[in-house]
Amino acid sequence: MGQMMSQPLLVSSIIEHADRHFGDKEIVSRRVEGDIHRYTYRDCHQRARRMANALATLGVKMGDRVATLAWNGYRHMELYYAISGSGAVLHTMNPRLHADQIAYMVDHAEDSYVFFDLTFLGLIETLAASCKSVKGFIAMADRGSMPASFRIPNLMCYEDLIESSSDRYAWPAFDENSASTLCYTSGTTGNPKGVLYSHRSTLLHAYASCLPDALNVSGREVLMPVVPMFHVNAWGFPYSAALTGAKLVLPGPMLDGSSLHDLIVREDVTVSAGVPTVWLGLLNHVERNALEFGKLRRIIIGGSACPPAMMKTFRDKYGVELLHTWGMTEMSPLGTVCTLQSQHLRLTQAEQDQVLEKQGHAIFGVDMKIVDDEGAELPWDGKSCGHLLVRGPWVVRNYFKAEGSSALQDGWFPTGDVATISPEGYMQITDRSKDVIKSGGEWIGSIELENVAMAHPAVQQAACIGVFHPKWDERPLLVVVKKADAALTRDELINSYQGKVAKWWTPDDVVFVDALPVGATGKILKNEIRNQLRHHKLPTA
């Protein structure tokens, strides 16, 4: 056996490190009240210790679940460390889910306390009576902003708890495999499923995500995670920023183009991260008002496929690089990142762009493979398309409270995505397996068809679904939101596919709509579009 120290990898060690080494670095937050709050990692650590004492006074013990319904902000950051650091389990809930699903999660997780931003007061009032396991609700506010609600039993004030608690607290040491955080999948079908991260998985993921060819987080960056702290731990940024000493900018509840742009410029943000719909909104705002992006150099994009046309606009017009990443709740979330390798540097820009459109290579720690319907492994030839499976120390083994069953197939986690992998190891998602269009027994990837539509200058957003066809079973139907005041006809858009995809992949029809339905994590809801258009009759049918 090796003879090195076996110090457990614990979440609390990150904030201790940040305090000691980057204590004066700032955490800037837009508060629910609308104003800007600023303090340092040292302040954050001190208040997290106070909150850890408060939790102990409330009777929270090792392994107890404590929930949050909150935006990206400094108090949420304190809870990330206070709850997990003290040995309890931070359960971040997505407030955009249906109230019934939130009630289900509180009940399933057996949450002992719920912390909430005042934005969600109404939601808590509705839910409180049905939350049987919950001993108290804590409004993340100061005394002056406390609501007078009689419908919430045992309502407490966050700042009162902080003020009445000592900052003398020694973070406990325990097994690094203990649970640190609980996040439920967004549950577009059926009830959400809980993914229970451990301290070890969280720390390994944080280390790996900082690598230069991963998210490249460093103490020279000003980092603004737009991806919510209630969705897969904001892709780990509350940990990786503290681990490296990056200045952190937390945008709170205001995620519109104008508010984000204001923060980017005002706080000299250099890197930001979020789903494509956020960046479409920001780009629109910047284009419409002839603005610039200040010091912003890099946007990390994931959650849905990044349209290549948007990547080009950001880079060519504004000098902002879009970094394409892929992952999922079950993967903490990071799986692949698309960066160029040395052999790509001599390629032309167009050839490099073809590489950068993909979801990328696995970061060290994640192993992946593609298989056919029978589970036989497919070659990495960039053409063979199969079900994507992954494994690694920050990949789920089993869902929370699903004892007796396994989330794995022969030790691998089936992602539900369909992908190709190039000989160089670059993975490209062609579809979610539920969204693949099956035409005459062959698969058509909807993402590629959407990317072609998105490259048309008159298209704001596009989704492609399969609809019934009497001869081919399914054929592609394009659903499009046009840019404001843009003129575009069905035939014009269909003709734009010529030479860009195989002829039989060309969509059979186009439906123009005012907006596409978006789910709790900012992704386009194809289920809902399919439902709405299930009776659509194709002209080719």
Task: Single out the catalytic residue among 78, 221, 330, 450.
Answer: 330
Radius of gyration from C-alpha coordinates of the chain: 24
Whether residue 215 contacts residue 334, with contact meaning beta carbons closer than 8 Å, is answered with yes
Task: Single out the catalytic residue among 110, 188, 443, 528.
Answer: 443
172: left (phi over 0), alpha (psi -120 to 50) or beta: beta
With binding defined as CB under 6 A, does residue 109 bind ligand AMP? no
With binding defined as CB under 6 A, does residue 448 bind ligand AMP? no
With binding defined as CB under 6 A, does residue 446 bind ligand AMP? no
With binding defined as CB under 6 A, does residue 194 bind ligand AMP? no
Smaller CB separation from ligand AMP, 234 or 510: 234
With binding defined as CB under 6 A, does residue 449 bind ligand AMP? no
Of 205, 248, 270, the closest CA to residue 78 belongs to: 248
- Part in contact with ligand AMP (CB under 6 A); list of ranges 103-111, 203-211, 297-305, 491-499: 297-305
As a whole number of angstroms, the distance between CA 98 and CA 188 comes to 11
| 443 counts as catalytic | yes
Tell me the HSE value of 278 on the side-chain side, using a 13 A CA sphere.
Answer: 25
Q: Which of 101, 233, 244, 329 binds ligand AMP (CB under 6 A)?
A: 329
- Part in contact with ligand AMP (CB under 6 A); list of ranges 71-79, 110-118, 415-423, 480-488: 415-423
Cβ atoms within 10 Å of 318's Cβ, excluding its own? 16
- Part in contact with ligand AMP (CB under 6 A); list of ranges 55-63, 281-289, 327-335, 457-465: 327-335
Smaller CB separation from ligand AMP, 357 or 508: 357
With binding defined as CB under 6 A, does residue 311 bind ligand AMP? no
With binding defined as CB under 6 A, does residue 185 bind ligand AMP? yes
Amino acid at 248: L
Tell me the HSE value of 207 on the side-chain side, using a 13 A CA sphere.
Answer: 14
Amino acid at 62: M
- Part in contact with ligand AMP (CB under 6 A); list of ranges 33-41, 43-51, 260-268, 299-307: 299-307
With binding defined as CB under 6 A, does residue 417 bind ligand AMP? yes
| 438 counts as catalytic | yes
Whether residue 28 contacts residue 267, with contact meaning beta carbons closer than 8 Å, is answered with yes
Q: Which of 131, 429, 478, 480 binds ligand AMP (CB under 6 A)?
A: 429
With binding defined as CB under 6 A, does residue 92 bind ligand AMP? no
Q: What minimum distance in Å lies between the beta carbon of 330 and ligand AMP? A: 7
Of 519, 428, 530, the closest CA to residue 477 belongs to: 530
Q: What minimum distance in Å lies between the beta carbon of 218 and ligand AMP? A: 23
| 330 counts as catalytic | yes
With binding defined as CB under 6 A, does residue 95 bind ligand AMP? no
DSSP state of 30: E
- Part in contact with ligand AMP (CB under 6 A); list of ranges 117-125, 161-169, 303-311, 463-471: 303-311
Q: What minimum distance in Å lies between the beta carbon of 230 and ligand AMP? A: 11
The terminus-to-terminus CA distance of the chain in angstroms comes to: 68
With binding defined as CB under 6 A, does residue 333 bind ligand AMP? yes
Smaller CB separation from ligand AMP, 178 or 304: 304
Tell me the HSE value of 12 on the side-chain side, using a 13 A CA sphere.
Answer: 23
Smaller CB separation from ligand AMP, 264 or 331: 331
DSSP states of 193-259 as a string? Answer: -EEEEEHHHHHHHHHHHHSTTTT---TT-EEEE-S-TTSGGGGGHHHHHHHHT-EEEE-TT--SHHH
| 403 counts as catalytic | no
Backbone angles phi, psi at 453, to 5 degrees: -60, -45
Give the binding-site size for ligand AMP (rule: CB under 6 A).
20
Whether residue 159 contacts residue 195, with contact meaning beta carbons closer than 8 Å, is answered with no
DSSP state of 331: G
Q: What minimum distance in Å lies between the beta carbon of 336 and ligand AMP? A: 8
Q: How far is CA 51 from CA 159, 199, 255, 347, in A?
A: 9, 19, 28, 53
As a whole number of angstroms, the distance between CA 480 and CA 462 comes to 5
Binders in 352-411 for ligand AMP, by CB under 6 A: 359
Query: Please, what is the angle between helix 446-454 and helix 308-318, to 10°?
Result: 40
With binding defined as CB under 6 A, does residue 302 bind ligand AMP? yes
Q: Which of 416, 458, 481, 494 binds ligand AMP (CB under 6 A)?
A: 416
Whether residue 79 contacts residue 101, with contact meaning beta carbons closer than 8 Å, is answered with no
Q: What minimum distance in Å lies between the beta carbon of 151 and ligand AMP? A: 32
Binders in 12-41 for ligand AMP, by CB under 6 A: none
With binding defined as CB under 6 A, does residue 270 bind ligand AMP? no
With binding defined as CB under 6 A, does residue 439 bind ligand AMP? no
Structure tokens at 221: 């960056």
Of 533, 519, 413, the closest CA to residue 475 belongs to: 533
Q: What minimum distance in Å lies between the beta carbon of 299 and ligand AMP? A: 13
Whether residue 238 contacts residue 75, with contact meaning beta carbons closer than 8 Å, is answered with no
Q: What minimum distance in Å lies between the beta carbon of 303 and ligand AMP? A: 5
Task: Mark 511-530 with x for binding to ligand AMP (rule: CB under 6 A) and - for no binding.
Answer: ----------x---------
Smaller CB separation from ligand AMP, 79 or 427: 427
As a whole number of angstroms, the distance between CA 83 and CA 400 comes to 18
Q: Which of 179, 305, 311, 362 binds ligand AMP (CB under 6 A)?
A: 305
Of 457, 447, 509, the closest CA to residue 478 belongs to: 509
Smaller CB separation from ligand AMP, 13 or 451: 451
As a whole number of angstroms, the distance between CA 66 and CA 341 comes to 43
Residues with a known catalytic role: 185, 330, 438, 443
Residues found near ligand AMP in the complex (CB under 6 A) = 185-186, 232, 302-305, 324, 326-329, 333, 359, 415-417, 429, 432, 521
